[in-house]
Amino acid sequence: MTRITVGPFNRVEGDLEVRLDIDSGRVARAEVTAPLYRGFEQILEGRPPLDALVIAPRICGICSVSQSIAAAAALRQAMGVVAAPNGVLATNIAHAAENAADHLTHFYIFFMPDFAREAYASHPWHGAAAERFTATKGSAAREALPARARLLEIMGVIAGKWPHSLAFQPGGTTRAIELGERVRLNAIAAAFRGFLERVVFADKLEHVLALSTPDELDRWRDGRGGDFAQFLRIADALDLARLGPGPGLLMSFGAYHDADGARFRAGLRSSTGTIDALPSDQITEDVSHAWMRETSLDPAESRTEPDADKTDAYSWCKAPRLAGEPVEVGAMARQAVHGQALITALLADSGSNVRNRVIARLIETAQLAVSIEGWIKALRLNEPFCETSGEAADGNYVGLVEAARGSLGHWLAVRSGRIARYQIIAPTSWNFSPRDAAGIAGPLEQALVGTEVGDAGARAVSIQHVVRSFDPCMVCTAH
């Protein structure tokens, strides 16, 4: 048995370290460390509630809209206001743009470059992968980055600036979209669809979204151009469906609410495939292996008190659990809970794994491109974008949303018009959690066990695939 440390990890958002015990060329045990802590929950205490709209988004430079709307959702309850329908739509458009942009970043900048590594030089697909995906030099990034930047001009129209936008308020959005701006939004949405259909899928989005079984996906892939099909071929060649199994439970808080309800439903999917209502009151955060003092397990009651000298701890991340169980979150969980046909079929076929996580992200990107078009059409320009909200009343509130990487919750307590407590559980807090008091490992810690590393040790590319398949956002994780 040997112990190795993988890290600092590059091409993930923020800092990450993973310690692995290796036995006979396989991972026997993993410990995941979030080595960065800033103290946002401590900073928010005692401030006026609305300050959360400025401070909370600054937790993360790539999921800032998600953080904004989670704060706005909690404040909406505190102020007893219902957001203007236009504001909800405008928020959906911006949020979807951020999440789709994150999925593209993950695919092109973070995940695919690993296939360009020398370790794969003997594989027949390597030459094409290296030309396309080599980090900072491959041809793909030169197409994807401008397409992504163009998509994010949506943020300019709706939110002024991004990251760290200010337009998302409890009552809606501060900017009323004008006719000319709607035209501009349409043009951006059309350009994004064009990029996806030309470069990512090499097919119409509707055709991609109509795929519903693994067999159909295989047939669709054969002989097709585009980066998604290229990934599918590599995934099969390397059998990525066997790599990085998740813990079983998949969760989604539900996302993109509009007049028809949630675009992606909320719920909990068991390992046997049954989908139940979300028992959000059973969410706890355990600190037995975090550098934190114990306060309460309930995020509505707990506080964040760092304790850098704690001996059993190995991460700044607390361990979120649902009814005591670790849970995987992310695009695959979101699509599985929603019942999306292809993802449901893939999960039934091979379960939660590296390949299916990546497929789910790209399928979701196609869905979002279509949804954005619909939301732009649904805007009624002469009606309000923001309702007036009153003062925040004393009480406990919770804002539950879905960020690109999964379920994000803000638990807010207001006392005497001030923030008394503020607790945040981010997607990667779930996926990259440390062990809990019962010794149960977090989802990534479980997913890494059994991974073959051969003689490569810390440089084993299989480890990189498993870790990056979750698309970690480490700055959100420990905040």
Partner 1 sequence: MGATTETFYSVIRRQGITRRSFHKFCSLTATSLGLGPLASARIANALETKPRTPVIWMHGLECTCCSESFIRSAHPLVKDVVLSMISLDYDDTIMAAAGQQAEEILEETRAKYKGQYILAVEGNPPLNEGGMFCIDGGKPFVEKLKVMAEDAMAIIAWGACASWGCVQAAKPNPTQATPIDKVITNKPIIKVPGCPPIAEVMTGVVTFITTFGKLPELDRQGRPKMFYSQRIHDKCYRRPHFDAGQFVEEWDDEAARKGYCLYKMGCKGPTTYNACSTVRWNGGVSFPIQSGHGCIGCSEDGFWDKGSFYDRLTTIKQFGIERNADQVGMVAAGTVGAAVAAHAAVTAVKRLATKRDDANAKQDH
- Is residue 3 close enough to count as binding partner 1 by CB under 8 A? no
Alpha-carbon span 201 to 197, nearest angstrom = 5
The residues, any chain, with a CB within 8 Å of residue 379's CB and separated by 6 or more, are 86, 89, 90, 177, 182
- Is residue 120 close enough to count as binding partner 1 by CB under 8 A? no
Local structure of 449: helix, strand or coil = coil
Task: Return the number of the residue (116 or 376) whose C-beta is nearest partner 1.
Answer: 116
How many residues in the shown chain lie near partner 1 by CB under 8 A? Answer: 83
What is 280-303 written as a DSSP string? GGGEEEE-TTBTB----SSTTT--
Alpha-carbon span 476 to 454, nearest angstrom = 32
- Is residue 319 close enough to count as binding partner 1 by CB under 8 A? no
Task: Return the number of the residue (169 or 340) whose C-beta is nearest partner 1.
Answer: 169
- Is residue 171 close enough to count as binding partner 1 by CB under 8 A? yes
Residues 278-297 binding partner 1 (CB under 8 A) are: 291
- Is residue 115 close enough to count as binding partner 1 by CB under 8 A? no
> Which residue type does 393 have?
A
Residues 442-461 binding partner 1 (CB under 8 A) are: 458-459
* DSSP element (H, E) containing 232: helix 227-237
- Is residue 50 close enough to count as binding partner 1 by CB under 8 A? yes
Residue from the set 37, 253, 256, 314 that interacts with partner 1 by CB under 8 A:
37
Residue from the set 78, 96, 100, 167 that interacts with partner 1 by CB under 8 A:
167
Residue from the set 163, 247, 320, 399 that interacts with partner 1 by CB under 8 A:
163
Task: Return the number of the residue (306 or 351) whose C-beta is nearest partner 1.
Answer: 306
- Is residue 316 close enough to count as binding partner 1 by CB under 8 A? yes
Task: Return the number of the residue (322 or 425) whose C-beta is nearest partner 1.
Answer: 425
- Is residue 155 close enough to count as binding partner 1 by CB under 8 A? yes
Alpha-carbon span 101 to 118, nearest angstrom = 28
- Is residue 125 close enough to count as binding partner 1 by CB under 8 A? no
Q: How far is the CB of 388 from partner 1 (least distance, A)?
A: 5
Q: How far is the CB of 321 from partner 1 (least distance, A)?
A: 25
Alpha-carbon span 415 to 175, nearest angstrom = 30
List the 275-276 sheet strands across, edge first: 275-276, 267-269, 250-252, 328-329
CB contact at 8 A, 343 and 336:
yes
